[in-house]
Amino acid sequence: MTPLGTAPGDLWKAWSFDPLVLGAATVAIVFFLLGWRRLHARRPDLAPVTRIPLFLAGVGVVLVGLVSPLDAIAEEYLQSAHMLQHVLIADLGVMLALLAVRGPLSLFFLPRDILAPLARMRPLRRALSFLLRPKIAVPLWLCVVVAWHLPVAYDAALRHPPVHVLEHLSFVVVGTLVWILLIDPVGHGRLSVNERLGLAVVLFWIGQVIAYPFVFGFQPYYDVYADQPVRLLGLSPLTDQKLAGVVMMGEQALTLGAAIVVLLHLARQARAAQPVAPELV
């Protein structure tokens, strides 16, 4: 994390280059490319070249949220930047990465020497099976999102870097759980197409409701931003807060809205493919 006290004129230089974040991104890209190459050599139709820029875009979006100057702006100056950071790393980046590995490619992401021992770990399998139940994943997502937006938790994350790291990790985890349910990258079939469509609509509605207090509030909720004497872009704390709500609503319209459109199309295809029952004479 960028240390507090970055002068506005130095924000453009405030790249954190966190070795842990960069290392994780590098490992993810290497694993994906090696897995893609193995599957592409066997079945090119199951590993199209278009998956590569899709995965790189997902990783790139997360990196922009964590190591670019956006991180310093989010921590020190603008709530709207902080909201943008959250939706990049917990929604858009996760969605793009899961879209890239969907299908058989998801089974080739990890090398066999790593995947096989993990697959044999029953506690891990049971934990994932439990967390990916819709009745568990969705309430967990809701609790995490709401809890971290309470003023006491939000301000604590901004004032204490370890708490901020925990906040980001929890957002990524719950975001990944709900997007796995929506995209079903492995083809597990936990939810039917219609159930995934309903889940997308519910998540979109919940997200909009969560954003309403920011968009329609009459006072700033977070002291870290309200007490900041330097106002980037001339945004007042209240205007910045309203913009943060708009960012949340807009990002959900982009990601969950796209999911709803795609799932509607799949639902229509499924209905069209159903055999028509013969009429009784």
Q: What global pTM score does this model have?
A: 0.88
DSSP at 106: G
Is the model more confident about 8 or about 213? 213
Query: For the residues 20-42, what does the mean pLDDT come to?
Result: 94
| pLDDT mean across residues, the chain | 88
**What's the pLDDT at 281?**
39
Alpha-carbon distance of 163 to 98, in angstroms, equals 27
**What's the pLDDT at 270?**
67
Spatial neighbors of 82 by CB under 8 A, at least 6 apart, are: 74, 75, 158, 244
DSSP H helices in 184-236:
193-216, 223-226
pLDDT at 1 over 70: no
Q: State percent of the chain over pLDDT 90.
A: 62
Provide the residue ranges of all domains of the chain, joining segments of one domain with +. Answer: 9-273
What is the tens place of the pLDDT at every residue in 237-258? Answer: 999 999 999 999 999 999 999 8
> What SS3 state is found at 274?
coil
- Confidence bin at 280 (pLDDT 50/70/90): very low
Query: For the residues 160-175, what does the mean pLDDT come to?
Result: 93
Question: 80 and 247 in contact (C-beta within 8 Å)?
Answer: yes
What is the tens place of the pLDDT at every residue in 266-275? Answer: 778 767 766 6
Where is average pLDDT lowest: 25-29, 105-109, 172-176?
105-109
Query: For the residues 185-211, what does the mean pLDDT come to?
Result: 90
pLDDT at 259 over 80: yes
Question: 215 and 246 in contact (C-beta within 8 Å)?
Answer: yes
pLDDT at 8 over 80: no
pLDDT at 150 over 80: yes
- Confidence bin at 15 (pLDDT 50/70/90): confident
Compute the Cα dihedral for 128, 129, 131, 133 and give only its sign: positive
Q: How far is CA 14 from CA 6, 72, 78, 86, 223, in A?
A: 8, 7, 15, 18, 23
- Confidence bin at 228 (pLDDT 50/70/90): confident
What is the tens place of the pLDDT at every residue in 60-97? Answer: 999 999 999 998 898 888 999 999 999 999 999 999 99
Cα 124 to chain centroid, rounded: 22
What is the tens place of the pLDDT at every residue in 91-131? Answer: 999 999 999 999 999 989 888 888 888 888 889 889 989 99
